[in-house]
């Protein structure tokens, strides 16, 4: 049996990024921060995708995570990055658990649309409520780290790299466990899973909560990196679509794929906007079409091929 080099590879890559981040220009560090933070949400969607489920409403959790950070900051003056992150994950885990009781009963387009509907309910509440910042959202103060308030964004960048690595290791471990194997098993044959004595609904529920927590963490880290939250870029259906877009771009083949795919998407969007400010979406959309036609396994399939050839 060949040894899986995903985690060692990811460890080296993220360590290089974390250390290298000290020397790279701010604009590139920002791109990497947004890319790696979003990768956490993609990691969650990857787990769902492997189960045969596509959520068009995960901006719900991205937004909840981001707004949890903003509301903690504004109402309680909490700036500690770890507390913000922890609360965001608790909130999204709680909401995910509640909604999971409903969503675990649906499949295919019904699952996708119902998840979208829930996210649009949050969007509606946010844009109509002045106390929640309405359409403008909130500004988020820079994070502190265990009472230390270092200058610049590098400490947050390191936190994102370390947290991303930890999440990838945990998800990889999960995918190698029985519960993780239930992703493919449920997608392939729900009847057999039930007749092996395991509840398909429970399996889906666990995966849904897991993806909600990861997406909440992504939203929280993005809010701290951006210094701002708003409903249009974080909770609207386009934000959910963007997460699905990056999931397809990345591919479901590995826990490393979301980090690569998300970073590529971030750079692609930036350069496309630079090149054609009024039609950058065409370049991004064209790229997705090309991936669907020529790389159905996502960008990761290129790496997988290279790694296979290397063995």
Residue closer to another protein, measured from CB, 178 or 281: 178
Q: Is residue 304 part of the contact set for another protein (CB under 8 A)?
A: no
Interface size with another protein, residues (CB under 8 A) = 23
Decide: 105 and 98 in contact? Cβ < 8 Å.
Answer: no
Q: Is residue 129 part of the contact set for another protein (CB under 8 A)?
A: no
Residues 6 or more apart whose Cβ sits within 8 Å of residue 122: 60, 63, 64, 235
Q: Among 174, 259, 265, 300, which residue interacts with another protein (rule: CB under 8 A)?
A: 174
Helix (H) or strand (E) holding 302: helix 300-310
User: CB 85 → another protein: shortest distance, Å?
Assistant: 23
DSSP string over 185-207: HHHH-HHHHHTTT--HHHHHHHH
Sole window of 5-13, 76-84, 169-177, 276-284 interacting with another protein (rule: CB under 8 A)? 169-177
Calculate Rg over the CA atoms of the chain. 19
Cα torsion for 168, 171, 173, 176, to the nearest 10°? -130
Spatial distance between the Cα atoms of 216 and 193, rounded to a whole number of angstroms = 29
Q: Among 11, 105, 135, 184, which residue interacts with another protein (rule: CB under 8 A)?
A: 184
Residue closer to another protein, measured from CB, 175 or 239: 175
Q: Among 193, 264, 283, 295, which residue interacts with another protein (rule: CB under 8 A)?
A: 193
Letters for 195-234 (x = contact with another protein by CB under 8 A, - = none) are: xxxxx-----------------------------------
Q: Is residue 305 part of the contact set for another protein (CB under 8 A)?
A: no
- Please name the residue that has the structure tokens 């920002």: 30
- Please name the residue that has the structure tokens 């560090």: 29
Q: Is residue 294 part of the contact set for another protein (CB under 8 A)?
A: no
Q: Is residue 105 part of the contact set for another protein (CB under 8 A)?
A: no
């Amino acid at each position: 049996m060949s040894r899986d080099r995903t985690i060692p590879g990811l460890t080296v890559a993220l360590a290089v990024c974390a250390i290298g981040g000290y020397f790279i220009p701010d604009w590139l560090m920002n791109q990497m921060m947004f890319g790696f933070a979003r990768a956490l949400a993609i990691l969650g969607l990857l787990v769902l995708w492997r189960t045969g489920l596509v959520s068009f409403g995960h901006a719900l959790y991205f937004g909840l995570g981001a707004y949890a950070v903003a509301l903690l900051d504004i109402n309680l003056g909490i700036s500690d990055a770890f507390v913000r992150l922890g609360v965001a994950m608790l909130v999204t885990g709680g909401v995910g658990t509640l909604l999971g009781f409903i969503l675990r009963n649906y499949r295919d387009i019904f699952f996708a649309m119902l998840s979208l509907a829930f996210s649009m309910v949050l969007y509606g509440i946010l844009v109509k409520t002045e106390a929640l910042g309405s359409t403008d959202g909130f500004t988020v103060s820079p994070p502190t780290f265990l009472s230390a308030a270092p200058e610049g964004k590098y400490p947050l960048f390191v936190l994102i790299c370390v947290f991303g690595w930890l999440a990838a290791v945990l998800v990889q471990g999960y995918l190698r466990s029985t519960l993780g194997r239930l992703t493919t098993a449920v997608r392939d044959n729900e009847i057999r899973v039930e007749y092996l004595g395991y509840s398909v609904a429970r399996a889906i529920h666990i995966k849904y909560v897991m993806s909600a927590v990861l997406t909440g963490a992504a939203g929280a880290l993005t809010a701290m990196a951006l210094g701002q939250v708003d409903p249009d870029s974080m909770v609207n259906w386009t934000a959910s679509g963007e997460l699905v877009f990056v999931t397809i771009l990345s591919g479901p083949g590995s826990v490393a794929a979301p980090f690569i795919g998300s970073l590529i998407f971030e750079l692609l969007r930036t350069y496309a906007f630079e090149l054609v400010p009024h039609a950058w979406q065409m370049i991004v959309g064209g790229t997705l079409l090309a991936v669907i036609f020529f790389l159905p396994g996502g960008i990761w399939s290129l790496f997988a091929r290279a790694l296979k050839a290397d063995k």
